[in-house]
Amino acid sequence: MNDTDNPIRQFTAHLRAAGRSPGTIEKYQRDVRAFSAWLADQALTAETAAAWRDHLLQSGYAAVTVNSMLSALNRFFRFLGRDDCRLPFLRVQRRTFRDPARELTKEEYQRLLEAARGSGQERLALLMETICSTGIRVSELRYITQEAARSGQAEIRLKGKIRTILLPARLCRKLQKYAKKQKTVSGEIFLTRNGAPLSRRQIWREMKELCRRAGVEPSRVFPHNLRHLFATVFYKACRDIVKLADVLGHSSVNTTRIYLLTTGAEHAKQLDRLGLVT
C-alpha cells in the first residue's frame, strides 16, 4: 500500500461528503494511517490485512478497540474497491456492566466544575455544564449559539439528521451572560481568543489538566463521559429509554442501552440481592 497519502485524502473528502462528524473523520484517519505505517512496503492483501488484526490483538488491544479500528479500515477498503481485504469483526459478547475505572460520578463532575472555576477557567466550566446538562456530543457544541441561548433550544444537524434539543433556563442565562462578557453578539458561543471554534483536542486537554486539582482519575475525564452522565441521570429521572434515545440523537435504543449499563460494583450488589447463595 505505497503512497497512501492521496487515497487517505480522498477518503477523508468522501467521509465529509457523507456527513460524518469531525470526530469520526479524525478517528478513521488515525486508524487508517496506523495500518498504513504498519504495512509499510508490504502489498495490500487479505492476508496482510488479517495479520494487522492479529498484530493488534498481540499488542494487547481490547477486542472492542480492535473492532473499532477494523470498522474504520473496512470502510477504507470499501472506498478503495478492495472488498477482498475487508475483515470480519471479533465476536464479543455484550457486557452487562461498565468498567468502574471509566465511570464519572455526579460528585466528581461537581469537583471538576469547582476546579475549573477556581482556576479562572470560566469557559471550560460552562462548556462542561452545557454538555452534561443537555447530553450533546462535543462535536455538537457549535450549535450552542447566542440565538439558541435566547430561544431556549438548539437545532442540531449531524449525520444527515436534524433534532431539536431544549436548553435548561438556568443554562441559557449563564450562556447569555458569558457571551455578553465575550462580546459575542451572534453565532457560536464557545470560541478561542482568536474567534475560532474550539477543537475536540483542546477541550480534551483542558479537561485532563483539571484532574489533579479536582482529585479525579484522568481515566474518568473526557467529554463523552459528560454525555454518559447526562444519560444516566436523565433516565433515573424519567425511566423512558425511548425519550432518552431521541434526546441523545440515537437511531436505535440498543445504542442508548449501552449508556445505561451499571458499574461492576452495582451489578455485584444486584446479584447479592437475589439471595440465591445460602
Secondary structure of the chain in the HEC alphabet?
CCCCHHHHHHHHHHHHHCCCCHHHHHHHHHHHHHHHHHHCCCCCCHHHHHHHHHHHHHCCCCHHHHHHHHHHHHHHHHHHCCHHHCCCCCCCCCCCEECHHHCCCHHHHHHHHHHHHHCCCHHHHHHHHHHHHHCCCHHHHHHCEHHHHHHCEEEEEECCEEEEEECCHHHHHHHHHHHHHCCCCCCECCECCCCCECCHHHHHHHHHHHHHHHCCCHHHCCHHHHHHHHHHHHHHHHCCHHHHHHHHCCCCHHHHHHHCCEEHHHHHHHHHHCCCCC
Q: Please report how many Cα atoms fall inside a 13 Å half-sphere around the Cα of residue 94, on the Cβ side.
A: 7
- What tens digit of pLDDT does each residue of 105-161 get? 999 999 999 999 999 999 999 999 999 999 999 999 999 999 999 999 999 987 778
- Cell 470480519 belongs to which residue? 88
- What tens digit of pLDDT does each residue of 227-263 get? 999 999 999 899 899 999 999 998 888 888 878 776 5
Per the CB < 8 A criterion, the answer to whether 154 and 164 are in contact is yes
Joined grid coordinates for residue 179: 457571551
- What tens digit of pLDDT does each residue of 16-74 get? 998 888 888 999 999 999 999 999 999 999 999 999 999 999 999 888 889 999 999 99
Joined grid coordinates for residue 101: 475505572
Q: How far apart (Å, rounded) are the C-alpha atoms in residues 165 and 156?
A: 7
How much is the pTM?
A: 0.67
Q: How far apart (Å, rounded) are the C-alpha atoms in residues 138 and 227?
A: 9
Q: How far apart (Å, rounded) are the C-alpha atoms in residues 34 and 32?
A: 5
Name the pLDDT band for 265 (thresholds 50, 70, 90): low
Per the CB < 8 A criterion, the answer to whether 236 and 218 are in contact is no
Spatial neighbors of 243 by CB under 8 A, at least 6 apart, are none
